[in-house]
């Protein structure tokens, strides 16, 4: 019965693996089709020397390197549209001895004839492997190193994939000073200690750690650094190193299914690379399968895995936006002929995929205050900000209308009060008062007056009331009846 369950589980993993492979290769065939911007190595003899040469330490399918290559090429297109880019993937994971390295250097020497405008080294091994060949061929060409480690060391360690002891490390900032402005380094740190602290905070209690890595030199160095950190800072944590050379991807998936909730999973890389003739077969895309198969939240060490279609939770590192900013800044300075420098990509912070966080049943309240969250739902005010803004504007307009109407009504009441007061004075004062309109003929001579208004004193002294009310009438040289008053004597004559 147990054998039957094991066979069934392996069959399910195989179906999942095949399905993901089909999706990956269909997408990758469209995304990584070679173009004239140069995602493949090519001979440059006879082309314009205004080109940028990019050496990628690994393969084009390695997520971290591919992201840097794509970002660099896009920035170069914007900064210098007339400059062509040529990228060579060194596949340094397959280099194991001096003979293989010598063949690579010879291939680079014969492939590129014209001196490039700039050289970009991506990864931890491209510059140590090639800089002597390049300098012998062209001298010190303006160059940039994009690296996730801030030092280099003996070539033998890089070829044999063994960690470099602290005493043998050569810091890149020291190398930059020796090159007197011809070299820049953009350092993207890997935060192992902070990542472990974040995992402890989000998935307590974590008593065991699975560190997933491959056979590259950088992976061996990270395993050595992880052992040192856990020994000093997390002595109670048991670490399992799952290495691509020691197990198949199916074995890895099966192992992750058996680990309990007390086991944390930290993914660094799973690059399974082999050479078939002149072609390289890369299995770096298995990270998507691993993230979807793991029962535990999957943490990573860079932002290339977060905010994608995978189930990666996140980790502690600089965001993609911060990395892109420093890449563009280094390219701008180098293209402008400014001296090179050593710069560290900052700031680093917890980076979390909110959707994965909720799916894994982790409370957002556990997140540190400086966490950068992808796909975080908007709060009420942000989600309905336009509706609330429009409503507030309408209310403000209505309040203004009410204010001005109220003010106008107050002014009207004041005017009516003043009119009533003056009318009372007009009606009761003993002095006769007439308001008259003078009439003119066609020649402009006055010939008549129209009495528009009089007060009671005028009526008592000059008029005899007939019938009706009012006070309008004419004043002429003869007695004249207005229909309301009869003039007793001429007031003016023509």
For position 48, which CATH number holds? 3.40.50
| Residues 205, 66 share a domain | no
Task: Please provide residue 475's backbone torsions phi and psi, each rounded to the nearest 5 degrees.
Answer: -120, 115
Q: Is the pLDDT of residue 485 over 50?
A: no
Are 271 and 283 a contacting pair, CB within 8 Å? yes
For position 207, which CATH number holds? 3.40.50.2300
| Residues 40, 134 share a domain | yes
Q: Is the pLDDT of residue 42 over 50?
A: no
| Residues 286, 248 share a domain | yes
| Residues 173, 98 share a domain | yes
> Is residue 331 a part of any domain in this protein?
no
Q: Is the pLDDT of residue 135 over 90?
A: yes
Q: Is the pLDDT of residue 29 over 60?
A: no
What is the arithmetic mean of pLDDT over 243-261?
A: 87
Lowest mean pLDDT across 84-88, 458-462, 464-468:
464-468
- Write the pLDDT tens digit of every residue in 74-85: 999 999 999 999
> Is residue 406 a part of any domain in this protein?
yes
Lowest mean pLDDT across 6-10, 176-180, 207-211, 432-436:
6-10
Lowest mean pLDDT across 14-28, 324-338, 395-409:
14-28
What is the arithmetic mean of pLDDT over 368-378?
A: 87
Lowest mean pLDDT across 124-138, 231-245, 415-429:
415-429
Q: Confidence class of residue 160 from pLDDT cuts 50, 70 and 90?
A: very high
Per-chain mean pLDDT for the chain: 80
What is the arithmetic mean of pLDDT over 305-323?
A: 84
> Is residue 323 a part of any domain in this protein?
no
| Residues 313, 198 share a domain | yes
Q: Is the pLDDT of residue 273 over 90?
A: no
> Is residue 330 a part of any domain in this protein?
no
pLDDT in the model for residue 161: 94
Quick one: what percent of the chain has pLDDT higher than 70?
77
| Residues 444, 397 share a domain | no
Burial of 135 by CB count in 10 Å (0-12 exposed, 13-18 middle, 19+ buried)? Answer: middle
pLDDT in the model for residue 9: 54
| Residues 118, 71 share a domain | yes
How far apart (Å, rounded) are the C-alpha atoms in residues 233 and 227? Answer: 10
| Residues 481, 415 share a domain | no
pLDDT in the model for residue 254: 87
Which range marks the domain in which residue 438 is found? 434-487
Lowest mean pLDDT across 171-185, 237-251, 262-276, 330-344:
262-276
| Residues 357, 232 share a domain | yes
> Is residue 55 a part of any domain in this protein?
yes
Among 360, 377, 394, which residue terminates a domain? 377
pLDDT in the model for residue 478: 42
- Write the pLDDT tens digit of every residue in 407-424: 888 888 888 887 777 777
Q: What's the total number of domains in the chain?
A: 4
Are 461 and 432 a contacting pair, CB within 8 Å? yes
| Residues 311, 198 share a domain | yes
Q: Is the pLDDT of residue 437 over 60?
A: yes
| Residues 41, 157 share a domain | yes
Give CA 473 to chain center in angstroms.
85
pLDDT in the model for residue 120: 96
Beta-ladder partners of 437: 450
Among 187, 203, 227, which residue terminates a domain? 187
- Is residue 137 classed as helix, strand or coil in its secondary structure? helix
> Is residue 6 a part of any domain in this protein?
no
| Residues 235, 91 share a domain | no
Where b means 16+ CB within 10 Å and e means fewer, 46-84 reads eeeeebbbbbbbbbbbbbbbbbbbebbbebbeeebeebb
Quick one: what percent of the chain has pLDDT higher than 90?
47
pLDDT in the model for residue 285: 56
Higher pLDDT, 215 or 4: 215
> Is residue 254 a part of any domain in this protein?
yes
> Is residue 180 a part of any domain in this protein?
yes
């Amino acid at each position: 019965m147990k054998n039957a369950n094991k066979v069934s589980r392996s069959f399910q993993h195989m179906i999942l693996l095949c399905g993901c492979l089909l999706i990956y290769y269909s997408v990758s065939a469209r995304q990584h089709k070679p173009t004239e911007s140069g995602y493949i190595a090519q001979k440059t003899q006879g082309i314009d020397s205004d080109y940028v040469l990019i050496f990628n330490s690994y393969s084009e399918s390695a997520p971290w390197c591919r992201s840097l290559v794509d970002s660099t090429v896009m920035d170069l297109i914007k900064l210098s549209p007339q400059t062509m880019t040529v990228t060579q993937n060194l596949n340094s994971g397959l280099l194991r001895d001096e003979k293989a390295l010598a063949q690579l250097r010879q291939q680079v020497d014969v492939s590129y004839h014209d001196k490039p405008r700039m050289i970009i080294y991506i990864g931890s091994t491209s510059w140590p492997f090639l800089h002597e060949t390049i300098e012998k061929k062209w001298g010190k060409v303006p160059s940039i190193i994009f690296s996730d480690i801030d030092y280099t060391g003996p070539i033998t360690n890089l070829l044999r994939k063994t960690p470099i002891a602290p005493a043998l490390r050569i810091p890149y900032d020291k190398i930059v000073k020796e090159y007197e402005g011809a070299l820049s380094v953009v350092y993207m740190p890997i935060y192992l200690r902070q990542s472990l602290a974040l995992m402890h905070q989000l998935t307590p209690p974590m008593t065991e750690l699975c560190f997933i890595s491959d056979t590259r030199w950088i992976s061996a160095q990270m395993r050595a650094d992880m052992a040192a950190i856990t020994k000093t800072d997390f002595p109670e944590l048991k670490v399992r190193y799952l290495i691509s050379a020691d197990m198949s991807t199916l074995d890895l998936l099966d192992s992750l299914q058996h680990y309990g909730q007390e086991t944390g999973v930290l993914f660094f890389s799973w690059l399974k690379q082999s050479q078939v003739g002149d072609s390289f077969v890369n299995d770096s895309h298995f990270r998507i399968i691993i993230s979807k198969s793991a029962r535990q939240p999957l943490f990573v060490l860079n932002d290339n895995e977060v905010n994608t279609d995978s189930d990666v939770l996140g980790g502690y590192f600089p965001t993609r936006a911060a990395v892109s900013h420093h890449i563009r800044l280094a390219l701008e300075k180098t293209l402008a002929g400014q001296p090179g420098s050593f710069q560290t990509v900052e700031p680093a912070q917890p980076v979390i995929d909110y959707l994965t966080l909720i799916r894994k049943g982790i409370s957002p309240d556990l997140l540190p205050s400086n966490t950068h969250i992808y796909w975080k739902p908007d709060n009420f005010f942000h989600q309905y900000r336009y509706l609330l803004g429009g409503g507030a504007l309408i209310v403000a307009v209505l309040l203004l209308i009410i204010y001005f109407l109220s003010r106008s009504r107050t002014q009207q009441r004041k005017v009516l009060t003043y009119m009533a007061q003056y009318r009372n004075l007009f009606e009761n004062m003993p002095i006769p008062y007439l308001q008259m309109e003078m009439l003119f003929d066609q020649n402009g001579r006055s010939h008549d007056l129209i009495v528009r208004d009089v007060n009671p004193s005028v009526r008592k002294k000059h008029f005899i009331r007939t019938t009706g009310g009012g006070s309008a009438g004419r004043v002429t040289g003869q007695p004249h009846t207005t229909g309301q008053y009869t003039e007793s004597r001429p007031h003016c004559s023509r």
